[in-house]
Amino acid sequence: MSTQEDHSDDIALAGEYVLRLLDDVERRAFEARMANDAHLRDLVRDWESQLAPLADDIAPVTPPAAVKARLQTVLFPDAKPRRGKLWAWVSGGLVAASLVVGALLLGPLLDPDIGTAPTFVASVSAEDGSLVVLASFVAETNTLELSREAGAALPGRVLELWLIAEGAEAPVSLGVLPETPTTRIDVPQTLAGQMAGGALAISDEPPGGSPTGAPTGAVLAVGPITDA
């Protein structure tokens, strides 16, 4: 076989390899050669990049959030539970992408006429500002003051507030937000002790709140609970 034919053969072989058309024996033989042959590796790389535009026509499809959660568990079993749970719960491309976390300018914005200084604060916000709820927790009285600065429930729907405690198995409902922009929630003692290091989130739910005890609608906003 001439060098030219040899070369042609490798071009075709590399193409078959990239297309996954070789049988197992051929594929292993090719991979063994490739390990020691930069030219073969180049041929493979070129085919991969030259054929890749075929994938342009494949429409993206958002995978279910559970895939990312499982991936997280598989890859990072040592990760802090809170982070993992929070991530698992709110992940899912659109939701995750639209969330912003961070407590900004909270102190001055919160209702100043409350006598007791808050222990923790949170800005539960959607990134586009379509929903912003400022939260302030007073540990002495176990009360959570909420001020909805922007956004509202969709017609025929309600907003439900959740506590995602550090290391918790699942979010716990703190109740459905009223239509009024401000409200005060008495937090049960057991939950009050779980505020530190946790996060607050708001989901879209049917009237009366989630029927299941877990969020059933979209997670609209989330914010970490930080020291006031």
11 binds other proteins (CB under 8 A): yes
Q: How many CB atoms lie within 10 A of CB 56?
A: 6
Stretches 93-101, 111-119, 132-140, 143-151: which one binds other proteins (CB under 8 A)?
A: 93-101
CB within 8 Å of 166: residues ≥ 6 apart: 80, 81, 82, 194, 196, 197, 198
227 binds other proteins (CB under 8 A): no
Among 6, 32, 39, 63, binds other proteins (CB under 8 A): 63
Among 1, 35, 36, 56, binds other proteins (CB under 8 A): 56
Among 29, 31, 64, 130, binds other proteins (CB under 8 A): 64
Q: Which two tokens stand for residue 213?
A: 């005890």
3-state secondary structure 26-80: HHHHHHHHHHCCHHHHHHHHHHHHHHHHHHHHCCCCCCCHHHHHHHHHHHCCCCC
First to last CA, the chain: 78
Among 82, 87, 147, 182, binds other proteins (CB under 8 A): 87
Stretches 64-72, 173-181, 194-202, 206-214: which one binds other proteins (CB under 8 A)?
A: 64-72
Q: Which residues bind other proteins (CB under 8 A)?
A: 8, 11-12, 15-16, 18-21, 41, 44-45, 48-64, 66-68, 70-71, 74-76, 79, 87, 91, 93, 96-97
